[in-house]
Amino acid sequence: DKGYDTPDNFRLLKERKQRAAIMVKRRRGACRGHMKARYPNQKEYQIYYRLKKFRSFIEKIFATAKQWYGLTRARYWGLEKMKIQATMTMMAINLKRIVTLDNCLQT
């Protein structure tokens, strides 16, 4: 999410030796080169753009889960029960996708 694009978050990820996959905000009126400050070498820059393309595919699945399967609001109290709800929702979406893909392959 672009809301996490802060220097502190990038610094924390670097300290933990984790790869950043945070989408960079478009800065209006700011100096150019903020992308290169976030992803300094070419390899990280290329990984960022690959993840950016892949993210839209994943976000569509979460949007479907929220819009059609009730994942916008937790039905139950507690983290464990919410995990069960999210898991069951994603299982339903994946089963529907399997049926759709299977029908496409058979025709």
Residue-level pLDDT at 30: 58
Which residues in the chain land under pLDDT 50? Answer: 29
User: Can you tell me the distance from the alpha carbon of 42 to that of 31, in angstroms, rounded to the nearest whole number?
Assistant: 20
pLDDT score at 74? 81
**Do 84 and 74 touch, CB atoms closer than 8 A?**
no
Q: Where does residue 67 rank: exposed (0-12), middle (13-18), buried (19+ CB within 10 A)?
A: exposed
Q: Which residue carries 């070498």 as its tokens? A: 41
In the prediction, which pLDDT does 94 show?
94
CB 23 within 8 A of CB 3: no
How far, in whole angstroms, is CA 46 from its chain's centroid?
17
107 vs 104: CA distance, rounded Å: 6
pTM over 0.85: no
Which helix (H) or strand (E) segment holds residue 71: the answer is: none
